[in-house]
Structure 1
């Protein structure tokens, strides 16, 4: 009996492997690189002629840990990685938005890392912000119908994020800006906070790093200007920009603690 069970289990495993291979061929999934990528390699193309359906299925297969992707004209790219610079900024922002909950496990504000939504300017492809903030399910109206709702929801039928945070390190400033503004095409999003990190510059024993923050809002704030996107400008979307630093620290300061 044990030999029969062992043979059955082996046959099931082989069938699953064959099924996975056929599934990949039929859907033309993007293929992750089999070697480590550096930031200098991004954006890195991993798929051609990939349908939206196959792209979304690829994301659902949970093969993408540590990477962020972009689907564009049936091409798929890795655009960001979970490096120290990127994740440190995300961690700080997460703590800031979660602070009003005063440590409660189920506070009134929900702060989530990379929940999938549908691209407001796309063709049904999924996108994930670095941070999504919304009211908890106990405090806001849940979507009565699947996407697009009403009210709007994420891909799993949860309420749509009201505040979006996008952090970029590998992405160039234009690509980062475009992604931030895409979220504002969803009227349910009240504001988008974008942080663009630039590479560190070493001058002697001192390290410099520049960061730019942009805040997109639906009301004018002091110092803000209308979005350069014509559609968003017509809708009254304003942008406020600030350079966070030139942040500097020396190796002497580090060695002294």
Structure 2
């Protein structure tokens, strides 16, 4: 049976996620403690594990207060442990581990940061991608190269289409506007933006199939001609799109 998923808005535009099942509760990323503790209290849940995707403050700064309040163990990439809060469990890219009785695949997704990882739960059909693959976008390249990010997005794009992509921020207004500027004749994109205007629900998670249909960073093949790069490799088309988004 899939784990229960709860999306929590934090800070200005962050998302954190709770996973709950018979074996306990886990949190993916900890932007701030207060709204997470409020959600746990409202549901009568404890907190057993905190999974961290990358080292940026807006994903880890709630860890000390949450550990103090709940006794949760902290899980993160061992290769980036020098920039993360103290880890109780260090995981490696391309190695699986057990979470609440379910197998988790750790996917290496450098680009936004070098140590960034994503967590894929095949049984529950979820992937926690934070600031790599995002709703209608992808993260800025603060540490990695365009080629690294393109390879990271390609790894995520290889997951099943019904996988829920649980990303780290509500950047949907800006991402949607940029997507529309480079892909204006995309009916799926228009439908998604219209649905978001009519709903107060979070724009993440969203199925990977929807990202494939509306996210320009997964649509480089479809956008190659309009960008006047008919013979360019996918990674070069992606790099141009990312530069355009940075300047948008």
Please indicate, yes or no, whether the TM-score normalized by the shorter chain is above 0.5.
Answer: no
Q: Classify the TM-score, shorter chain.
A: under 0.3
Q: What's the TM-score once normalised by structure 1's chain length?
A: 0.27
**Larger relative contact order, structure 1 or 2 (CA cutoff 8 Å, min sep 6):** 2
Q: When you count helix as a share of all residues, which structure comes out higher?
A: 2
Q: What's the TM-score once normalised by structure 2's chain length?
A: 0.27
